[in-house]
């Protein structure tokens, strides 16, 4: 199981998951500044679970792009 951690996920959380043996890709570390669309494409491509701190129901257009 792979996780993709959005830029707003604290690095301590990402590091803790990695130390516990989880496969975590950190957008903040590996792809800073990429678009939400690209993140969603990566999640779909890798069949990963997206970790994010945003409330997607409040983010204009986010659900339409998903």
Residue 16 scores a pLDDT above 70: yes
Question: By C-alpha distance, which of 51, 64, 63 is closest to 9?
Answer: 51
Could you give the strand order of the β-sheet that contains 2-5, starting from the edge strand earlier in sequence? 23-26, 2-5, 49-51
Query: Using one digit for the tens of pLDDT, what is the confidence trace for 24-63?
Result: 999 999 999 999 899 999 999 999 999 998 665 555 555 5
Q: Which residue has the tokens 């996780």?
A: 3
Residue 15 scores a pLDDT above 90: yes
Q: What is the pTM of this model?
A: 0.78
Range of the domain at 50: 2-65
Q: Count of domains in the chain?
A: 1
pLDDT at 1: 85
């Amino acid at each position: 199981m792979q996780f993709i951690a959005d830029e707003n996920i604290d690095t301590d959380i990402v590091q803790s998951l990695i130390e516990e043996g989880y496969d975590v890709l950190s957008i903040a570390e590996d792809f800073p500044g990429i678009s939400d669309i690209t993140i969603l494409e990566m999640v779909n491509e890798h069949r990963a679970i997206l970790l994010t701190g945003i409330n997607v129901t409040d983010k204009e257009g986010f659900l339409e792009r998903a």
